[in-house]
A and B are shown apart, each in its own frame.
Chain A
Amino acid sequence: MINHDVLIIGAGLAGMRAALAAGDNGADVAVVTKVHPVRSHSNAAQGGINAALTDRGDDWRDHAYDTIKGSDYLGDQDAIEIMCREAGSEVISMEHMGVIFSRDEEGRLGTRAFGGQRQARTFFVADFTGQALLHVLHEQVLKAGVRVYEEWFVLSLIVEEGQCAGAVVMEMRTGGVHVMRAKAVIMASGGLGRVFEPSTNALICTGDGMALSYRAGAPLMDQEMVQYHPTTLKGSGVLITEGARGEGAHLLNSKGERFMERYAPNMMELASRDVVSRSEQTEIDEGRGIDGCVLLDCRHLGEQVIREKLSQIQDIARDFAGVDITREPIPIRPGMHYQMGGIKTDVNGSTAVPGLYAAGECACVSVHGGNRLGANSLLDTLVFGRRSGQHASDLAKSKPHAPITDAAAEDDLERIRALLENDGEYMFGRLRLDLGRAMDRRLSVFRNQQGMEQALTEVRDVRERYRNVRVADKGKTFNTNLMFTLELGFMIDCAETIVLSALERRESRGAHTRTDMPDRDDDNWLKHVLVKSTPDGPRIEHLPVVITEWEPQARVY
């Protein structure tokens, strides 16, 4: 058995920020991650990170208002206030740690415009902001000497007498299964994008932490709120950053019209993501698309801007679509991108299970509500990663380890044995594809009752067939085949909670747009939908939205 005060699951921005904070607070911290830290999905963030810096004439209240309006008033305003107030110091401390950030002529941090915000307050490093932040945080983790268990895959959380007491983890290199005991566990396992096919998310984004926490008794909140990003590449679904529109790129339909004029005359291409995605989908559905896509046009930005600020986009378009963005527009469409929902936490990261914390994309504080603003997610990971690290380490100081033993791994060992022996008929890949396609078909930009009911049947059908899954690789060393099959189990749980929450919300709000109930209904639905796992199956609960000073209004961009 391995012992640490605080065990952090995940080494993306949220996990590493939490590790540094818990370490600074004097705790013995360890991080487990199924991939090396710098391979975490945070590195994919291209656009930037939001912060309203007072000395630039910006105001955190404006940022908060934009976030709340963006969330379609489903975000909890106390949490949003905290995030926006602490944003400036968080960005500055990342700069002090070594992030280079793009600068203005005076050598101070420069900003770019991002969607849904009236101020240019997005700080960035060319178009690889996430990578720059992630690598620097990793440098700091090395400097602090935090113990990182790389390529260790968490199988389950250990709950002893109602408290989270650690995790059962498989070491990929050897196939060994370990009990890791901790006084506090922070889940920072990222998103669930692969539940949808296609998705902008990396292949490792399989919702593990949401499912692990859900199985351990922590409710998931706002799961129906799945963000479709307006600009994903035709075919592969790879993301083209909002930074492109921030730098001035236009959206065009098949007639060459800047169609956003009709949907968001003020903010145009930079309206909130749900708004832009719906507009694009409407153009496509009404026959003004090209081959299921609309066009993103960067040509007028000029070669120098493209080279200095959008080089990665230039590479992606060339490598994955064969398009030279200085000469041709890029065919794009809305694609699954981000999960606003997740493990319900308070503003300190605590979940409903004592000893279990969550931060980052797997958590739902909720600062994004019905729709996340671009560049608010990185901020969310850092602010709430730090806060959960601080609070989890405080908790760890105040209590002893739970009396668990290596026997805690038995259920998982048995599960793995059964999976390996099962000579079922389905490869996980087939099932994953069926699951992902069903979700993308029925729970994308526009939804309706019948489609969502159909999705529920399809998800449950995949669950049935999953009992009959076959793991071809029977070995111990680096058995990714086994890992993917276990991940698929997590994905099925996530998918079910998404569909159930979506069926529950009988209105349209944020990313949840129902063609059969097109209006927002504040009288009945200004509240969160939660799903809790019980012995009798999933149970739906509700929680009121926290409103501090911004009363809900109609949302116009």
Chain B
Amino acid sequence: MKATLRVRRFDPDSDTPEAHFQEYDLDVEDSATVLDGLIKVREEVDGTLTLRCSCRSAICGSCAMRINGQAGLACNTKISDAVPRGGGPITIEPAGNMQIIKDLVVDFQPFWDKVRAVEPWLQPEGPEPETEYVAPNDAMLHEAGVMACIMCGACVSDCTVLAVDSNFLGPAALAKAYRLVVDPRDDAEASRLARLDEYGGVWDCTRCMECVEVCPKGVAPMDRIMALRDKAMERGHTGTYGARHADAFADSIKHSGWLDELKLPIKTFGLFNIPKILGLVPVGIRAQLAGKRPPIFHKSIPGVQGIRRIFDRMESRR
């Protein structure tokens, strides 16, 4: 079949390093994936096209990118499925919420730092048993659903909170934290939940479901985050600024489709918690530098009806 890939290019070494789109017309087999197409480009047409990929079978997690505006793996997206209805090119952009290094290659360092931050290793107490730990297979099967995460970052790319608040640990790191919290062999549940209760942790998710939708491995990060919240509540981690932060966050987006960052810290910490609010100043400055200055007059964005519908739908589901 014939298809056109419209790829967002960026080369920091060029004399005029500006992002732009470049189109490649390809003739590929009907079963070809978007990754097959991109590899064909880089091997036969344009050797400068740069992307990460390795396994070609959705297991190494290298090839997450935005395909027609939504994050996914290039290697398990068929070209025939990605051609927009009515024809036209398939638009391919680097994963979102991460800095672009070159073409489709983004900087994963913050992603890995957050994974590191949840102390993602088993922390058992007491002496190791002689042979294996005895653990129910059901618990292991349940955990396998999260272990299936390939750290591709598709969820992080499209997470609506990370788009505005880079402090959020994000869906992938939190899913990883969940696996350790539920592991019957791990004895650090209390300290793990206490940490996840803090700013940037489980309460910052707005339950937008993007991560569930884009995850190629069925990990359902949002569901894991909700389960962590339940566990945190069970341990009495309620009424913290974390919980309020989430509600404020959701309110704001539901109300106007925007995240009202100016109002958010106030709602979260209470109007008189001046030191805490001041503590957030660097976030504001960083947002400003990134061109993400919160709009002072909080207006609704055009699609707000749709966003409200999503919220209603979700609330009716719970």
A and B part of one assembly: yes
Q: Please list the residues of chain A having a beta carbon within 8 angstroms of any beta carbon in chain B.
A: 35-36, 38-41, 43-44, 53, 55, 92, 95-98, 100-110, 125-126, 128, 131-132, 135-136, 139-140, 142-143, 173, 202-204, 235-236, 238-239, 308, 312, 315-316, 319-322, 427-430, 432-433, 470-473, 475-481
B:38-78 near A, CB below 8 Å: 39, 42-44, 46-48, 50-62, 76, 78
Complex contacts, B314 vs chain A, CB 8 Å = none
Q: How far is it, in angstroms, between the C-alpha of A202 and the C-alpha of B33 when the chains are bound?
A: 16
Given contacts A98-B183, A429-B42, are A108 and B132 in contact (CB under 8 A)?
A: yes
Q: How far is the CB of B280 from chain A (nearest CB, A)?
A: 29
Complex contacts, A36 vs chain B, CB 8 Å = 108, 112
Q: 9 closest A-B pairs (Cβ-Cβ)?
A: A429-B43, A472-B47, A98-B122, A475-B13, A103-B137, A139-B121, A473-B48, A107-B134, A143-B121
Given contacts A102-B140, A125-B147, are A481 and B47 in contact (CB under 8 A)?
A: yes
Q: How far is it, in angstroms, between the C-alpha of A103 and the C-alpha of B136 when the chains are bound?
A: 7
B:127-153 near A, CB below 8 Å: 128, 131-137, 140-141, 143-144, 147-148, 150-151
Knowing that A475-B13, A477-B12 are A-B contacts, what are 12 other residue pairs whose CB atoms are under 8 Å apart, sorted by A's residue number?
A35-B54, A35-B62, A38-B151, A44-B59, A92-B132, A131-B59, A142-B116, A319-B58, A427-B43, A473-B47, A478-B101, A481-B47
B144, A100: Cβ atoms under 8 Å? yes
A477, B13: Cβ atoms under 8 Å? yes
Closest to A100 in B: B140
B:192-235 near A, CB below 8 Å: none
Residue B31 interfacial (CB < 8 Å): yes
11 contacts between A and B (CB under 8 A): A125-B147, A202-B54, A204-B54, A429-B43, A430-B43, A432-B43, A473-B50, A475-B14, A478-B105, A480-B50, A480-B51
B31, A320: Cβ atoms under 8 Å? yes
Residue B102 interfacial (CB < 8 Å): yes
Residue B284 interfacial (CB < 8 Å): no
Residue B247 interfacial (CB < 8 Å): no
Q: How far is it, in angstroms, between the C-alpha of A179 and the C-alpha of B36 when the chains are bound?
A: 35
**Residue from B47, B76, B134, B143 in contact with A319 in the complex, judged by beta carbons closer than 8 Å:** B76
A92, B131: Cβ atoms under 8 Å? yes
Closest to A239 in B: B57
B134, A106: Cβ atoms under 8 Å? yes
Closest to B133 in A: A95
Given contacts A135-B147, A475-B13, A478-B105, are A107 and B136 in contact (CB under 8 A)?
A: yes
Complex contacts, B128 vs chain A, CB 8 Å = 96
Q: How far is it, in angstroms, between the C-alpha of A430 and the C-alpha of B45 when the chains are bound?
A: 11
**Residue from B33, B42, B59, B185 in contact with A98 in the complex, judged by beta carbons closer than 8 Å:** B185
Complex contacts, B43 vs chain A, CB 8 Å = 427-430, 432-433
Residue B11 interfacial (CB < 8 Å): yes
Q: How far is it, in angstroms, between the C-alpha of A471 and the C-alpha of B39 when the chains are bound?
A: 16
Number of interface residues of B (CB under 8 A): 58
B141, A308: Cβ atoms under 8 Å? yes
Q: How far is it, in angstroms, between the C-alpha of A432 and the C-alpha of B108 when the chains are bound?
A: 29
Closest to A109 in B: B132
Q: How far is it, in angstroms, between the C-alpha of A440 and the C-alpha of B33 when the chains are bound?
A: 23
Residue B120 interfacial (CB < 8 Å): yes
B:1-56 near A, CB below 8 Å: 11-14, 29, 31, 33, 39, 42-44, 46-48, 50-56
Residue of A35, A44, A100 with most partner-chain B CB within 10 A: A100
Q: How far is it, in angstroms, between the C-alpha of A497 and the C-alpha of B105 when the chains are bound?
A: 35
Closest to A128 in B: B148
Given contacts A92-B132, A104-B137, A126-B144, are A478 and B57 in contact (CB under 8 A)?
A: no
B59, A427: Cβ atoms under 8 Å? no
B135, A427: Cβ atoms under 8 Å? no
A478, B102: Cβ atoms under 8 Å? yes
A429, B44: Cβ atoms under 8 Å? yes
Q: How far is the CB of B29 from chain A (nearest CB, A)?
A: 8
Q: How far is the CB of A100 from chain B (nearest CB, A)?
A: 5
Given contacts A41-B55, A43-B55, A125-B147, are A477 and B102 in contact (CB under 8 A)?
A: yes
A235, B136: Cβ atoms under 8 Å? no
Q: How far is it, in angstroms, between the C-alpha of A126 and the C-alpha of B121 when the chains are bound?
A: 20
A98, B101: Cβ atoms under 8 Å? no
B156-185: CB near A (< 8 Å → 1, else 0) gives: 000000000000000000000000000101
Q: How far is it, in angstroms, between the C-alpha of A320 and the C-alpha of B137 when the chains are bound?
A: 30
Q: How far is it, in angstroms, between the C-alpha of A13 and the C-alpha of B117 when the chains are bound?
A: 23
Q: How far is it, in angstroms, between the C-alpha of A315 and the C-alpha of B58 when the chains are bound?
A: 9
Complex contacts, B12 vs chain A, CB 8 Å = 477
B121, A203: Cβ atoms under 8 Å? no
A427, B143: Cβ atoms under 8 Å? no
Q: How far is the CB of A58 from chain B (nearest CB, A)?
A: 13
**Residue from B14, B44, B134 in contact with A430 in the complex, judged by beta carbons closer than 8 Å:** B44
Q: How far is it, in angstroms, between the C-alpha of A478 and the C-alpha of B128 when the chains are bound?
A: 44
Given contacts A97-B122, A142-B120, A477-B13, are A108 and B108 in contact (CB under 8 A)?
A: no
A96, B133: Cβ atoms under 8 Å? yes
Given contacts A35-B62, A472-B48, A473-B47, are A102 and B137 in contact (CB under 8 A)?
A: yes
